[in-house]
Amino acid sequence: MKASHVSKMQRVVIKIGSALLTNDGRGLDHGAMALWVDQLVGLRDRGIELVLVSSGAVAEGMVRLGMSKRPHHVHELQAAAAVGQMGLIQAWESAFQRHGLHTAQVLLTHDDLSDRKRYLNGRSTLRTLVDFGVIPIVNENDTVVTDEIRFGDNDTLGALVANLVEADGLVILTDQDGLYDADPRANKGAALISESLASNADLDAMVAGGSGVLGRGGMYTKLRAARLAARSGAMTVIVGGRIENVLSRLFAGESLGTVLLPDQGRQVARKQWLAGHLQTKGQLFLDDGAVAVITGKGRSLLPVGVKQVCGQFRRGEMVSCLSLEGKEVARGLVNYNSSDVTVILGKSTDEIEVLLGFVNEPELIHRDNMVMI
């Protein structure tokens, strides 16, 4: 059962922790990075879309600045992140260039992913990079954000990026082989948990404990990340990054690490999140044809089907879609603000750029961002 879950993933976020990347604090492990890149390129050649979330900037900066212990002062952490980010991205770029591939540095904060407009911009950028064949290297923007260098930062970020790009799964490479029913460092009889629902409350008692010198989360934040990813229907795999050919073997169907499954499928989970967690900011009144295609055929909403717009809203906010009689038929995240919708309503997609001078998306609301009422 477990092997089939992983082998079916087509869009994946891979998160690699600091202890692995920096060889437990002895500077970036370029040899290990090259081996992971070889495997990532193999997955990409199979048609799997990849986004890499990379820790290691602070740890690499500590080495470059001669720090023996992780600093506690925020300004020192930020300085270490700024210095280390240079080496980290250079190392990834060099490793992927051996295969003729380009990388892109993407620095995010939680604010980028909580603001709906910036959320959509980030999603569009990452998807475009993948379409261009570029490997996005994502990290937190530690240098300028005071509350992001904290417990479990990149585990959480990996889950948020999985939600952002609507990934099938999140793979967390760590310095343990997976999630155990007890701390394997203190209990030789600890058993590896092969598979579980991420929501399983019994897991909480199993992940209590500290983290390493470089990382800030331990298994608790990985479980928390798995539950966050599960909200949009993504599974999470927690697996040892030092296992030989770990990624190639994992995606070939071999049973490795711990698979934490969502309670619901990706689209169902996302639709429920849209329906239950966002307030509507405006209304779009649709003609009968538009109502028919979005309710009966599951299609996206195009500007041509909109007759009237009410309220003020920004790109990325939730709006209600109503029939001309005023019956709400759907809700969704709109790709244009209210003033722009007023200009393009009733027009064909081909006219958007002429009327606005730009095109965010060809659809007013994409069907993946819409839920029927």
Q: Helix crossing, 153-164 with 218-230: angle to 10°?
A: 10
Hunting for tokens 């240098």 — which residue is that?
143
* pLDDT tens profile 320-361: 999 999 999 998 889 999 999 999 999 999 999 999 999 988
Helix (H) or strand (E) holding 291: helix 288-296
- Helix, strand, coil percentages, rounded to 5, for the chain: 40, 20, 40
Mean pLDDT score of the chain, rounded to an integer?
86
282 and 244 housed in the same domain? no
Query: Is the pLDDT higher at 140 or at 359?
Result: 359
Return the CATH number at 26.
3.40.1160.10
- Most confident of the ranges 77-81, 115-119, 182-186, 277-281: 77-81
> What is the per-residue pLDDT for 183?
77
Q: Is residue 16 part of a domain?
A: yes
> What is the per-residue pLDDT for 247?
95
Query: Is the pLDDT higher at 265 or at 184?
Result: 184
191 and 311 housed in the same domain? no
DSSP 8-state assignment for residue 51: E
Contacts of 176 by beta carbon, 8 Å cutoff, 6+ apart: 184, 219, 238, 240
Does 213 score more than 50 pLDDT? no
324 and 204 housed in the same domain? no
334 and 198 housed in the same domain? no
**Residue 213, domain extent:** 2-268
289 and 229 housed in the same domain? no
229 and 297 housed in the same domain? no
Helix (H) or strand (E) holding 339: helix 338-344
Among 235, 268, 301, the domain-final residue is 268
Task: State the number of CA atoms in the 13 A half-sphere of 83 facing the CB.
Answer: 18
8 and 146 housed in the same domain? yes
Contact (CB, 8 A) for 170 and 229: yes
DSSP codes of every residue in 83-119: HHHHHHHHHHHHHHHTTT--EEEEEE-HHHHHSHHHH
Q: Is residue 363 part of a domain?
A: yes
Among 241, 268, 295, the domain-final residue is 268
Task: From 265, 267, 268, 239, select the one nearest 254 (Cα to Cα).
Answer: 239
Lay out the sheet containing 169-174: strands in order across. Answer: 103-108, 135-140, 49-54, 11-16, 169-174, 235-240, 258-261, 195-197
Task: State the number of CA atoms in the 13 A half-sphere of 291 facing the CB.
Answer: 17
* pLDDT tens profile 56-98: 888 888 889 988 888 888 888 889 889 999 999 999 999 999 9
Per the DSSP assignment, residues forming a β-bridge with 11 are 49
Helix (H) or strand (E) holding 274: helix 266-277
DSSP 8-state assignment for residue 321: E
340 and 290 housed in the same domain? yes
Per DSSP, the three-state class of 355 is helix
Query: Is the pLDDT higher at 1 or at 197?
Result: 197
326 and 204 housed in the same domain? no
Does 317 score more than 80 pLDDT? yes
Does 152 score more than 70 pLDDT? no
DSSP 8-state assignment for residue 13: E
Q: What is the rounded average pLDDT of the residues 136-152? A: 68
Q: Is residue 143 part of a domain?
A: yes
pTM (two decimals): 0.74
- Band (pLDDT 50/70/90 cuts) for residue 3 is low
Query: Is the pLDDT higher at 37 or at 298?
Result: 37
Query: Is the pLDDT higher at 240 or at 123?
Result: 240
285 and 165 housed in the same domain? no
What is the C-alpha separation between 108 and 112, in angstroms, rounded?
6
Q: Is residue 273 part of a domain?
A: no
59 and 170 housed in the same domain? yes
Question: What percentage of the chain carries pLDDT values higher than 90?
Answer: 49
Return the CATH number at 346.
2.30.130.10
> What is the per-residue pLDDT for 316?
84
289 and 235 housed in the same domain? no
Contacts of 187 by beta carbon, 8 Å cutoff, 6+ apart: none
Q: Is residue 151 part of a domain?
A: yes
Contacts of 131 by beta carbon, 8 Å cutoff, 6+ apart: none
- How many domains is the chain built from? 2
* pLDDT tens profile 251-281: 999 999 999 999 877 666 666 656 655 578 8
